[in-house]
């Protein structure tokens, strides 16, 4: 993508009513809709969605394909896609605006700061879809299922809330199931499959396929799934 196109998409984001952006990591303020500064922690349902429905986050949402598809699949729930890449978020936000999908929103920020933008118990569920596995040992804390991030999620996820991981990476799958989850006493492993398409899918949400998942499958990779509960 050319620099000009990226800059245009960054500008477009501020014209989308379903996009919130954070530019200062030490503040909970978000920029929204033509440069309006807002604080949304504890207020997503009241001020944005205008309902009391449960909220699901999709972390590392990329182009927002999962966020939009989940919002269509479950119109009685609210969904927020989170990613730092504005040019990626643009796609999902544009689709949601054009198709009037009012239960899908997007937050552009670093996931390390996720606890700044939501209050305790505000989130019911988290999806982590095809994140960067950060294979180097020196970057273990950047893996989105590392104990570092699980402790962040506990600050905003309701007790008993579920986290879903969908990945093509055997290393991230193994790390999550055999290292990270056992290390944290408030996390309970519920389900793990190392090849979800080798048998009937256990839930319709797993049949949503992103652009990258289609590529992974075309290349002969298997798709893994982990579900765990936050205590």
Catalytic residue numbers read: 132
176 touches 184 (CB < 8 A): no
CA distance 16 to 116: 22
- Distance, in Å, from the CA atom of 166 to the CA atom of 176, rounded to the nearest integer, reads 11
Query: What is the pLDDT, as a whole number, of residue 8?
Result: 66
Domain boundaries, the chain: 3-23+52-230
Question: Per residue of the chain (231 residues), what is the pLDDT tens digit?
Answer: 455 465 567 677 878 999 999 977 778 899 998 768 899 999 999 999 999 999 999 999 999 999 999 999 999 999 999 999 888 899 999 999 999 999 999 999 999 999 999 999 999 999 999 999 999 989 999 999 999 999 999 999 999 999 999 999 999 999 999 999 999 999 999 999 999 999 999 999 999 998 889 999 999 999 999 999 999
**How far apart are alpha carbons 101 and 80 in whole angstroms?**
12
| 11-27 pLDDT, tens digit each | 778 789 999 999 777 78
> The dihedral of CA 65, 67, 73, 75: what is its sign?
negative
- Name the residue with tokens 């765990």: 228
**Which CATH homologous superfamily contains domain 3-23+52-230?**
Vaccinia Virus protein VP39 (3.40.50.150)
Beta-carbon contacts of 124 under 8 Å, excluding residues fewer than 6 positions away, are 54, 55, 56, 157, 158, 161
CA distance 122 to 154: 11
HSE (CB half, 13 Å, CA atoms) of 172?
25
Read off the pTM.
Answer: 0.94
52 Cβ contact list (under 8 Å, min separation 6): 45
Which tokens in the block code for residue 161?
């809330």
Strands in the chain per DSSP E: 19-21, 29-32, 36-39, 55-59, 78-83, 104-108, 123-129, 157-167, 187-193, 224-230
- Cβ atoms 156, 114 nearer than 8 A: yes
End-to-end Cα, the chain, rounded Å: 42
Structure confidence by residue, pLDDT tens digits, 45-59: 999 999 999 999 999
């Amino acid at each position: 993508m050319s620099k000009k196109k990226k800059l245009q998409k960054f500008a477009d984001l501020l014209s989308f009513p379903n996009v919130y952006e954070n530019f200062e990591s030490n503040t909970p303020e978000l920029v929204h809709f033509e440069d309006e500064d807002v604080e949304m922690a504890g207020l997503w349902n009241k001020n944005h969605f205008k309902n009391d429905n449960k909220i699901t986050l999709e972390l590392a949402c990329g182009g927002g394909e999962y966020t939009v598809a989940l919002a269509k699949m479950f119109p009685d729930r609210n969904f927020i896609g989170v990613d730092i890449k504005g040019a990626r978020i643009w796609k999902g936000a544009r689709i949601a605006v054009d198709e009037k999908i009012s239960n899908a929103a997007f937050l552009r920020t670093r996931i390390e700061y996720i606890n700044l933008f939501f209050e305790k118990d505000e989130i019911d569920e988290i999806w982590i879809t095809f994140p960067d596995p950060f294979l180097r040992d020196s970057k273990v804390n950047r893996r989105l299922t590392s104990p570092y991030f699980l402790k962040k999620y506990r600050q905003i996820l309701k007790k008993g809330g579920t986290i879903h991981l969908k990945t093509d990476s055997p290393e991230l799958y193994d790390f999550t199931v055999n290292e990270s989850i056992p290390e944290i006493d408030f996390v309970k492993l519920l389900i793990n499959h190392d090849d979800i398409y080798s048998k009937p899918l256990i839930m319709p949400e797993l049949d949503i396929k992103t652009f990258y998942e289609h590529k992974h499958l075309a290349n002969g990779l298997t798709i893994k799934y982990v579900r765990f509960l936050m205590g």
